[in-house]
Chain A
Amino acid sequence: MNIDQLVEFIKNDLGFMKNITHWEIIEPRKGIYSPFPGFLSSKIVRVLRNRGIDSLFCHQALALDIINECKNVVIVTPTASGKTLCYNLPVLNEILKNNDARSLYLFPTKALSQDQVSELHEMITLMDTDIKTYTYDGDTPTNARKTIRQAGHIVVTNPDMLHSGIMPHHTKWVKLFENLKFVVIDEMHTYRGVFGSHMANVIRRLKRICNFYGSDPTFICCSATIANPLELAQKIIGEPISLIDENGAPVGGKHFIFYNPPLVNRELGIRRSSLLETKKIAGQFIGNGLQSIIFARSRLTVEVLVTYLRELVKKKQGDPKGIRGYRSGYLPTERRQIEKGLREGSILGVVSTNALELGIDIGSLETAIICGYPGSIASTWQQAGRAGRRNSTSIAILVASSNPLDQYTIQHPEYFLEGSPECGLISPNNLHILLSHIKCAAFELPFEDGEQFGVETLSEILFYLEEHRIIRHVGNRWYWMAENFPAADISLRSASEDNFIIIDISLPKPRVIGEVDSFSAPMILHEEAIYIHGGIQFQVERLDFEEKKAYVRKVDVDYYTDANLAVDLKVLDVFDNEDMENGLFKAYGEVMVTALVTMFKKIKFNTHENLGWGRVHLPEMEMHTSACWFSIPEDVVGGFSQDEIQGGLMGIANLMGQICPIFLMCDARDINVIYHTRSPFTRKPTLYIYDSYPGGIGLSDKVYHIYNEIFDRCREVILNCRCIDGCPACIGPAAGEQGQGKDSAFKILGGILDDSQSKGEAKNDFFQLPFQG
Chain B
Amino acid sequence: MIPNLRERLRTISSNYHSRVEDIDGKTTRPAHGSLGGHIIETRWGKHVLKRTEVPLGYSYGNIPFERVTHINNPVEHKWFGLNDDDYRYNITDLVFLDTETTGLSRGAGTLAFMVGLGYFNEHCFVIEQHIMRDFDEEFSMLNSILNTLNNRKILISFNGKSYDYPLLENRMIINHISPHINHKEFHIDLLHIARRIWSTMLESCSLISLEKNVLEKHRAIDIPGRDIPGVYYKYLQDRDEAAMNIVIEHNSNDILAMVALFIKLACMYKDHRTSHLHCQEWFGMAKSFEAQGDDEMSSYCYTKSIETGSTPYTGMAARNRLAMLYKRRGQWKPAIKLWKYMVDHGGNFMITPLIEIAKYYEHHEQNYEKALKYTDKAIKRLTHMRIARNAPYGMDGINEIRHRKKRLERKRKSVNEVF
Q: Interface of A with B (CB < 8 Å)?
A: 168-172, 174, 431-432, 435, 442-446, 456-457, 460-461, 464, 466-470, 472-475, 477, 479-485, 487-488, 509, 572-573, 590, 624, 695
Contacts and interface: CB of A to CB of B under 8 A. Distances in A.
A169 B173 contact: no
A405 to B, nearest CB: 32
B102 A483 contact: yes
Contacts of B392: 509
Interface stretch (B103-111, B202-210, B272-280, B337-345): B103-111
Contacts of A446: 135
A137 to B, nearest CB: 18
A169 B102 contact: no
Nearest to B12: A432
A464 B6 contact: yes
Interface string B3-18: 0011011011100100
B103 A464 contact: no
Given A431-B12, A483-B229, A590-B11, A473 B5 contact: no
Contacts of B102: 481, 483
Contacts of B174: 171, 445
A324 B105 CA distance: 44
Contact of A466 (B5, B27, B108): B27
A482 B20 contact: no
Contacts of A431: 5, 8-9, 12
Given A435-B12, A474-B136, A468 B5 contact: no
Contacts of B76: none
Contact of A468 (B2, B19, B104, B111): B19
Contact of A443 (B2, B9, B109, B135): B109
Contacts of B19: 468-469
A435 B16 CA distance: 13
A67 to B, nearest CB: 30
Given A483-B230, A572-B11, A474 B105 contact: no
23 contacts: A168-B109, A169-B106, A171-B173, A443-B107, A446-B135, A457-B1, A457-B2, A457-B5, A467-B27, A468-B13, A472-B28, A472-B135, A472-B236, A474-B135, A475-B135, A481-B102, A483-B102, A483-B229, A483-B230, A485-B105, A485-B109, A487-B107, A695-B12
B109 A468 contact: no
B27 to A, nearest CB: 6
Contacts of A480: 109
A169 B8 contact: no
Contacts of A624: 12
Contacts of A442: 109
Secondary structure call for the A interface: mixed
Given A457-B1, A460-B5, A168 B107 contact: yes
A412 B169 CA distance: 64
Contacts of A481: 102, 135, 233, 236
Nearest to B30: A474
Nearest to B6: A464
A170 B174 CA distance: 9
B146 to A, nearest CB: 17
A170 B16 CA distance: 28
B13 A170 contact: no
Contact of A461 (B9, B109, B111, B134): B9
A171 B135 contact: no
A479 B9 CA distance: 19
A477 B11 contact: no
Interface in B78-117: 102-109, 111
B1 A474 contact: no
B237 interface: yes
Contacts of B2: 457
Contacts, number: 102
Contacts of B388: none
B348 interface: no
B107 A475 contact: no
Given A171-B173, A483-B102, A484-B105, A435 B237 contact: no
Contact of B103 (A468, A475, A484): A484
A675 B28 CA distance: 49
Contacts of B169: 171
A5 B419 CA distance: 76
Contacts of B233: 469, 481-483
Nearest to B10: A464
A738 B90 CA distance: 92
B236 A485 contact: no
A468 B135 contact: no
B170 interface: yes
Given A468-B19, A483-B103, 16 more contacts: A169-B108, A171-B173, A172-B170, A431-B12, A445-B174, A460-B6, A467-B23, A468-B13, A469-B27, A472-B135, A474-B135, A474-B136, A483-B104, A483-B229, A485-B105, A509-B392
Contact of B107 (A460, A485, A572): A485
B103 A168 contact: no
B101 to A, nearest CB: 9
Interface string B116-152: 0000000000000000001110000000000000000
A484 B229 CA distance: 10
A227 B16 CA distance: 40
Q: Max chain B CB contacts within 10 Å: which of A457, A479, A488, A509?
A: A479
B1 A485 contact: no
A590 B107 CA distance: 34
A624 B14 CA distance: 12
Contacts of B230: 483
Interface in B189-247: 229-230, 233, 236-237
Contact of A445 (B8, B108, B111): B108
Nearest to B9: A464
Contact of B108 (A170, A435, A456): A170
Contacts of A445: 108, 174
A473 to B, nearest CB: 6
B400 to A, nearest CB: 19
A11 B143 CA distance: 82
Contacts of B111: 479
A431 B134 CA distance: 29
Contacts of B106: 169
A573 B134 contact: no
Contacts of A435: 9, 12-13
Contacts of A467: 20, 23, 27
B103 A485 contact: yes
B1 A479 contact: no
B258 to A, nearest CB: 25
A325 to B, nearest CB: 31
Contacts of A488: 105
A469 B108 contact: no
A8 B12 CA distance: 61
B226 to A, nearest CB: 9
Given A442-B109, A473-B28, A484-B105, A573 B229 contact: no
A149 to B, nearest CB: 12
Interface string B304-326: 00000000000000000000000
Contacts of A444: 108-109
Given A466-B27, A483-B103, A475 B236 contact: no
Contacts of A470: 16
A171 B170 contact: yes
B103 A482 contact: yes
Contacts of A457: 1-2, 5
A567 B13 CA distance: 24
A444 B27 CA distance: 22
Nearest to B133: A474
A446 B28 CA distance: 16
Contacts of B6: 460, 464
Contact of A474 (B20, B28, B109, B173): B28
Contacts of B237: 469
A467 B106 CA distance: 25
Contacts of A171: 108, 169-170, 173-174
Q: Max chain A CB contacts within 10 Å: which of B13, B107, B230?
A: B107
